A and B are shown apart, each in its own frame.
Chain A
Amino acid sequence: MKKIFNVIFYYLQLILFVGAFCLTFFIMLQMNRRLEKSFFTTIDVFVPFIILFILLIINILANQKTVKKNLFYNITSFLIFGTISIVALRAIFDHYLIMGTLNSYQIDFNYFANFIPFLKIMIYGLSLANFLFMFHLKEKKKQ
């Protein structure tokens, strides 16, 4: 049962990671376009995504079971990326957020901007946990 949940949450968190990144990228792009600012001023929002992406690649290439088969890690990642996706979708589609309905892009940038510090904390934290889980003792071969 644990293995099944592990596989499910592992792949779900990968899908949601891509979704969360794409939604964040879209909103930040629209925000900067509206403010007529260079996109590179918001690169600090994407640094945690890039770090986590590199760590995920290392997990896959090195086949690190301490991370890939860690149910708690997979569930937490799933929850974090799910939260980011839900907040981004609300900023775009929730018409009860009046600020969003007033501007021509129909996105509540203020609402999403308030969430960005939490987004950074969660992804940096996830990256740190991922890195720390990479350290493990080699299993002693049974003689």
Chain B
Amino acid sequence: MKSFFVEYANIVATTILGLLFGLSFFLLYVNFYHYKEIQTTYTPNTENGTDYENILAQVNEIRSDANSYYQATYRGQESIYDMSGLQTKFNSCMDNFESEELKKLLDKETFDIRDVSDLIHYYQNRILNDCLVVQLYNIANEENPSIQIERLKVLAPFIKNEIDLFISTGVGYVKSNIRNNDSYYFSNQSAKNTIFELTKNSYLEIINRYKQSLTFIKTLSGWYRTVAQGG
């Protein structure tokens, strides 16, 4: 009887060890796979120039629009101080797109998840906050606008709506996906091609945000050029 229980105890113990062996091996393998997976890099397509070059090209166009105003030769109806003020705002905004910090983040051949996280932070702090909200949002303030240009009143609702949209959509979805990259997930090539690849898709999403911001500012700067040239 005693030998039966002793043998039974040994069998149970060996079974438990076998299960634990399998579990720990599985966890080790999952961790190794996850470690390789989150280090995936993405190489953007540069057939039409790098994303940084495209951004700089748009920045140059916006600066050209902003600098189309010359106080000495301006013969329009708006206040020269307000026109100069708006020019300064555009140029300050563009400084955020031409900074050394953004160049260091964007001027690369390959991007990993840490680069995308840095791009998201830069977008939130320097583009969304310092440029769109601080520089451009208050010119659309109908009660106490910082820039008193008559024709701006027509554009004010558009500016306000667009910036509100940028703030509300923000980068929350991409940011939460990246932050949760510590959860184990299994991604094969088929899923990456058809559904979602963390590094690539989050990079494309954040670059899209940068470009959309520039497109919006270009709309404003185009209007500004028209006003500056007396249109």
Interface centre among B5, B13, B39, B112 (most CB of A within 10 A): B13
Q: Could you tell me the distance in whole angstroms from the C-beta of A129 to the nearest C-beta in chain B?
A: 4
| Contact A98–B181 (Cβ < 8 Å) | yes
Q: Which one of A42-50, A56-64, A76-84 is at the interface?
A: A76-84
Residue from A111, A122, A129, A136 within 8 A of B24 (CB atoms) = A122
Q: Could you tell me the distance in whole angstroms from the C-beta of B172 to the nearest C-beta in chain A?
A: 15
| Residues A129 and B23 in contact in the complex (CB < 8 Å), given A86-B28, A114-B182, A135-B9 | no
CB closest residue in chain B, given A87: B31
Give the distance in Å from the alpha carbon of A134 to the alpha carbon of B184 in the complex: 37
Interface size bracket, B side:
20 to 34
Q: Could you tell me the distance in whole angstroms from the C-beta of A14 to the nearest C-beta in chain B?
A: 17
| Contact A100–B20 (Cβ < 8 Å) | no
CB closest residue in chain A, given B21: A76
Does residue B33 face the partner (Cβ distance < 8 Å to A)? no
Give the distance in Å from the alpha carbon of A132 to the alpha carbon of B16 in the complex: 10
CB closest residue in chain A, given B181: A98
Does residue B14 face the partner (Cβ distance < 8 Å to A)? yes
| Contact B28–A82 (Cβ < 8 Å) | yes
Q: List 15 A-B contacts (CB under 8 A).
A: A72-B21, A75-B21, A76-B20, A79-B24, A90-B35, A95-B114, A97-B38, A98-B117, A98-B179, A99-B180, A118-B23, A121-B23, A122-B23, A136-B6, A137-B6
Interface residues in chain A, defined as those with a beta carbon under 8 Å from any beta carbon in chain B:
72-73, 75-76, 79-80, 82-83, 86-87, 90, 94-102, 108, 110-111, 114-115, 118, 121-122, 125-126, 128-130, 132-133, 135-137
Given known contacts A98-B113, A102-B117, A132-B12, what 13 new A-B pairs fall within 8 Å (CB)? A76-B24, A79-B25, A87-B31, A96-B38, A96-B113, A97-B182, A99-B182, A125-B19, A126-B20, A128-B16, A129-B20, A135-B10, A137-B6
Interface residues in chain B, defined as those with a beta carbon under 8 Å from any beta carbon in chain A:
2-3, 5-6, 9-10, 12-14, 16-17, 19-21, 23-25, 27-28, 31, 35, 38-39, 112-114, 117, 178-184
